[in-house]
Amino acid sequence: MDFDDDMILDQGPAVTITEAGDNFVNFALQKVDLSFANSLRRVIMAEIPIMAIDLVEIEVNSSVLPDEFLCHRLGLIPLVSKNCTEDVEYTRECDCDQYCSRCSVTLSLHAKCTSNEIMKVYAADLLVDHDRANPWVGTPVITDAEGKGTVICKLRNGQELRMKCIAKKGIGKEHAKWAPVAAVGFEYDPHNKLKHTDLWFEKSIAEEWPASKHAEWEEPAQEGERFDPDAEPDKYYFEVEGVGNLAPDQIIHEGIKVLQTKLATILNALGETKEDAGERFLPDDDVDMGGRNDFDNGYTTPGYNGPSYGNHGRATPYGATPYGQSGY
Amino acid sequence: MNAPDRFELFLLGEGEKKVTEEIDTRTPNTSIFTFNKEDHTLANMIRARLVKNPKVEFCGYKIPHPLFATFELRLQTNGEKTPKEMLIDACQTLIRSLNTLSADWTKEYELRRMVSGGGDK
């Protein structure tokens, strides 16, 4: 651990938030290299654990939508996932047989149309079981003025839906429904001084390419300025656009945490063969190692080998594979 | 139909190690580390940190096959430290700078909330 190796560290990353709202945050990240900024972006998009409906037991579905279609729609409904990294277990790592209140949230849906008018079934109609890891996890995110949420399905007179949905924790790498963000904007070097991109033009770049909204943050190249081939980018503009599962600042914090956990896992793995075992490499206490080191216990396919859920059970289209109902 | 399961991207298989080190005898002080169930996110970050270190002669990574979530990091040092020590150092400094980032973020966000009165928009 000699610090003299890393003069770079003295500066450390710096953040300037330019805009923030309930579901988005725009900021500039400075004093880091491109790969660091890009890793943060990648981890935010694909590796922050959140909740999403993963398993649906359909009892009655007489609507016009096929079961799979409905399951897919249900899977995409954003669910409140605050603190789910700590509070909720991964089903594959949980001690229970199939799923339990520590590793899942049960939402039930029962709707029947009894009038001649077309009835809409909304996300707000999902009834959340109170037996869950913490008092908010798994509740559908509802942001519209009427408080109804997304439309799941429309029903005609006599049509009925009755199903039980199991929401589980997962990451965006497995399925996009577990992504906490809709998009992460990422830009650097708005004047293309580094020439990382080659802008096509007919007469002049300045006339034909509109300036980026971040252009005013940086000085354009001066007339006759020499190109510096050793220059490196130093300022990155992020536009993190959340889906509602996590507040934007939590998304960033979780992203950082996931990256730290990754690095700590490497340190632990490297430490194993040496006399100085794992602990000293663990980052600060607030980093949850979340059982990720238990990989040595050797589960085959991740514990999903339980029996399938009766004839009416359906997993969401992706989920179908690991549950042995490989109809795809 | 025969696509690999998605969880194979991030769950270690049975008996699989997160990292293995293999000493490369073609050049002095060189090791090739194979990381399992990791991708560019980690690889590029570690690589970028290592190449900045003057004690590192060479560092680069490759992903041998796009369908398998694994990467190989080749690291040659100038002999003051072993590649493994250098890798450990790099990971530790990265964790520390992420800590700085986390603290800085908290501070900035709180400030932002105070300015815009609860951060509503």
A269 with B120: Cβ contact below 8 A: no
Residue spans of alpha helices (H) in B1-121: 40-51, 83-115
CA distances from A220 to A136, A193, A197 (A): 48, 8, 15
Tell me if A5 sits within 8 A of B87, measured CB to CB. no
Number of C-alpha atoms within 13 angstroms, CB side, residue A103? Answer: 18
Q: Which residue of B has its CA nearest to A18?
A: B112
Task: Work out the average pLDDT over B66-73.
Answer: 94
> Does A277 contact B at CB distance below 8 Å?
no
pLDDT at A272: 52
Distance from CA of A72 to the nearest CA of B (A): 17
Positions of chain A with pLDDT lower than 50, given as ranges: 1-9, 273-328
A9–chain B Cβ distance below 8 A for any pair? yes
Q: By CA distance, what is A250's nearest residue in B?
A: B106
Instruction: Note the pLDDT tens digit of each residue in B105-119.
Output: 999 999 887 776 544
All domains in chain A, ordered by first residue = 3-47+181-219+228-281 (3.30.1360.10), 50-175+299-315 (2.170.120.12)
Contact A186, A41 (CB under 8 A): yes
Residues of B in Cβ contact (< 8 Å) with A295: 11-12, 16, 18
Question: Could you give the domains of chain B?
Answer: 6-115 (3.30.1360.10)
**What is the residue-wise DSSP string for A41-61?**
HHHHHH---EEEEEEEEEEEE
Q: Which of A250, A139, A244, A136 is nearest to A181 (CA)?
A: A244
- Is some CB atom of chain B closer than 8 A to the CB atom of A265? yes
Tell me if chain B has a CB within 8 Å of the CB of A211.
no
User: Is A266 within 8 Å of B119 when comparing Cβ atoms?
Assistant: no
**What pLDDT score was predicted for residue A323?**
38
Helices (H), ranges, A173-247: 205-208
Contact A298 B38 (CB under 8 A): no
- Chain A, 109 to 148: residues with Cβ < 8 Å from chain B are none
Percent of chain B with pLDDT over 70: 95
**Token duo for residue B3:** 């696509």
Q: Using CB atoms, pick whichever of B15, B113, B116 lies closest to residue A298.
A: B15
Q: CA A54 → CA A136, A138, A311, B21, B66, distances in Å?
A: 18, 12, 17, 37, 27
CA B115 to chain centre: 36
List, for residues B20-48, the tens digit of each pLDDT value: 999 999 999 999 999 999 999 999 999 99
Contact B109 A249 (CB under 8 A): yes
Alpha-carbon gap, residue A34 to A188, rounded angstroms? 9
Token pair recorded at residue A64 = 């016009």
pLDDT tens track for A253-291: 999 999 999 999 999 999 854 444 444 444 444 444 433
A174 and B7 in contact by Cβ < 8 A? yes
Q: What order of strands is seen across the sheet that includes strand B70-77?
A: B19-23, B30-36, B70-77, B56-62
A269 touches chain B (CB under 8 A): yes
Q: Identify the pLDDT of residue B117.
A: 56
B positions 58-117 inside 8 Å of A (CB)? 84, 87-89, 91-102, 104-106, 108-109, 111-113, 116
pLDDT at A281: 45
For A113-262, strand residue ranges (E) read: 119-122, 127-128, 151-155, 160-170, 181-188, 235-242
Judging contacts by C-beta atoms under 8 Å, the chain A residues touching residue B95 are 260, 263-264, 267, 283
Closest residue in chain B to residue A326, using alpha carbons only: B1
